[in-house]
Amino acid sequence: MANEREQLTQPRFVHLNPDWNAEPNAPCVHLVAESDTVSVSFLLNPHAYDAEDGEVGKLTFPSCRRWRLDATNDEGWFAGRGRFAGVAPAWGEFYEIVGDDPTMDALDWEPADGSGSRHFLFYFRDEAFECLAGDWTLTRLPAPAA
């Protein structure tokens, strides 16, 4: 009975990036927060997905209520450290977290002006990004001219 109760309270991770991802070695993450919109830009992975060298992915989160960027990296996550180590299905992916997250209010969040309540998480190589927002979009930007 206790195991069933634990399973019901575990969050569910919906994988959002099956056909694209951030560059695994040096994604060069850049975050911009303006009013109720947060954008996270990063290099796309041209090694395992359909992306050009230097192509940038830009995730935009409208109606963002709060966001955080922390120093959880791949080594820490695989060593069992980090908020969702051992719970999230895989490192280096973009998820929507559905369900209870009892530790969320104990974290340091940056406030934003929106009212969104969908919970997003992206594990980059050297940091993890989380936000509560209304939705998300991905824009692909060409590599800068050499």
Query: At residue 50, what is the residue type?
Result: D
- Predicted local distance difference test score (pLDDT) of residue 8: 46
Closest CA to 123 of 69, 62, 80, 45: 69
* pTM of the predicted protein model: 0.90
Report the pLDDT value the prediction gives residue 2, as an integer from 0 to 100: 43
For each successive 10 residues of the chain (146 residues), what is the average pLDDT? 49 96 95 97 95 96 96 89 87 94 87 94 95 98 82
| C-alpha angle 109-112-115 in degrees, rounded to nearest 5 | 105
pLDDT for 128 equals 94
Residue 66 CA to residue 63 CA, distance in Å, equals 9
